[in-house]
Amino acid sequence: MSTQAPEAAQARVLAGRKVEQAGVLRGSGSRRARRRGAQVAGLVWLAPALFVLAVFVYWPLIENVAFSFLKWNIYNGEQTFVGLDNYANLASDPVFWRALGNNVWYAGLSIVFQVFGSLVLAAIVESLRNERWRKVFRGIYFIPSAISLTVAGLLFYFIYQPQTGLLNVFLQNLGLGQFSQAWLGRENTAIFAVIAMSQWQGFGYSVLLFSVALQRIPQELYEAAQLDGVGPVRRFFSLSAPLVREMTGLMVIVTISGAFQVFNEVMVMTSGGPNNASQVLGTWLYHAGFVTNDFGSAAAIGVAIFVITLVLAMAQLAYSRKRRVEW
């Protein structure tokens, strides 16, 4: 990997898309119009990507929709068309709704902590005068994001152990022993224990991103505000927060769509238990397909996830379009 990046290019990337050259886009468009028809050979550059995506991404997606109308017996390979039965079963399945609810909790809490909490934290870190400390905090907060979810999940399994776990020992030492419990083994706490782990893992990532966005705000604005006697709290609300609101908006959308795709952390820590209390859509799909052999229902859950993420992605797209105009 090359570490010698041309400084100009580096600056351009870090400066963001301020100089989004709409002209280039338009220019290439008009050139295309001028020489239409003669460049089919150029498609060779795209062929590998299109082929791989078609085979492994788009075709399975289409097939999944078809599968959701079938019931099949894995032992003799028989497939029967059952119409909307799988969807009807899903709608009457309380665990499906609980899983969806857990995804919503996941999204909501992640927005509070990973987006807004991290924004505040990033502003605090960036307000430190010493560049070395800023680096230390940003760097160390990020470490959990670099370790795999499996490792984090196994680690927190030990932290949540009822008798010997770090959390309960800590609570007992604080004299709060009455709150100690089997965090992953209780139906009303399991999903929140998983979400908490996920915040631990992910907040450093958001802090890093917000730091980058905050660094793009011209320093003069802060200096001017300071000269006017504006305190740090007001500086945050009147300057930092509004100026990074594009990043905030995008982070909200990215976080929500991530929350509806959650799988690993739940699988590693609880497999959706106890008594399916911590199932999310992803693990419930896995469970339907690979534990109870009901591939038709699994496909129907897949369609549900697809519809939800598609709507969120559209929102993201609309949002970034709007932003492009603003910039």
Q: Which of residues 204-223 bind another protein (CB under 8 A)?
A: 204-205, 208-209, 212-213
* Sole binder of another protein in the list 82, 104, 171, 182 (CB under 8 A): 182
In the numeric block, the tokens 């089997």 are attached to 182
Q: Is 292 in the site for another protein (CB under 8 A)?
A: yes
Q: Is 30 in the site for another protein (CB under 8 A)?
A: no
Q: Is 36 in the site for another protein (CB under 8 A)?
A: yes
DSSP state string for 11-75: HHHHTGGGG--HHHHHHHHHHHHHTTTS-GGGGGGTHHHHHHHIIIIIHHHHHHHHHTTEEE-TT
Q: Is 16 in the site for another protein (CB under 8 A)?
A: yes
Rounded Cα gap, residues 67 and 321, in angstroms: 35
**The tokens of 45 are what?**
């550059």
- Give the chain's largest Cα–Cα span: 79
**Per-residue x/- marks for another protein, 97-136, CB under 8 A?**
------------------------x--xx-x---------
Q: Is 35 in the site for another protein (CB under 8 A)?
A: yes
- Between 77 and 175, name the residue whose CB sits nearer to another protein: 77
Q: Is 80 in the site for another protein (CB under 8 A)?
A: no
Q: Is 267 in the site for another protein (CB under 8 A)?
A: yes
In the numeric block, the tokens 């609309």 are attached to 318
Q: Is 289 in the site for another protein (CB under 8 A)?
A: yes
Rounded Cα gap, residues 242 and 119, in angstroms: 11
* Sole binder of another protein in the list 40, 174, 227, 325 (CB under 8 A): 40
In the numeric block, the tokens 């992910």 are attached to 202
Shortest distance (Å) from residue 220 CB to another protein: 22
